[in-house]
Structure 1
Amino acid sequence: MYVIHLRYTGALAEIDDALEAHRLYLGRQFDAGAFIIAGPKVPRDGGIILAASMDRDRLDAIIAEDPFSQQRLAHYDIIEFKATRLAPDLNLPQSPWL
């Protein structure tokens, strides 16, 4: 799995202009099973995405499709980890890339 930390590099006005396209992109990735959780940071200077396990090259290609990436509005820090514990009664979807 991956934690993706987005840090905005563009002005908030630029982020707001690209936000609808970014949300459509997120929706496609959730539908495809690539993303599990996503949301803005508080304060609003970026966001966090939890991504399913997959080849890193595949993840990099997915991130390259993000309008924030294409417009150079965010920097992405990516942390890979192996989930070994899960809270009781919490079920994570299975990725098609496992």
Structure 2
Amino acid sequence: MGGGQELDADRRYTDMAQVCDDPRVDAVVIAAPARLHADLVVAAARAGKHVFCEKPMALSLADADRAIAAARDAGVVLAGGDSSGGSRPTGPPPAPCWTAGRSAHRGCCVP
């Protein structure tokens, strides 16, 4: 099973352009191979989508700066972290990360 069936999703996409073009999508979770993260963050941000990106956000400082700049320019929330569960439960990011417009919380970038 895959492609959203296990989540009973009513929409499925085969590429990022479809996600970016869908006005019903407010936010995306990027859990692709790390080499694609920065480009996907930039595409989603430019489309006005809020983004949660799995670690690492980028493989270079220049790509991370590009992703952060795209989110700031678009006025969308960009958050990063690890949702794999790991050995310790981490829970969702703190509320100020999502609502205050700026945050000092580790692992979180907002415009």
TM-score by length of 1: 0.26
- Structure showing greater relative contact order (alpha-carbon pairs closer than 8 Å, 6 or more residues apart): 1
Higher strand share: 1
TM-score by length of 2: 0.24
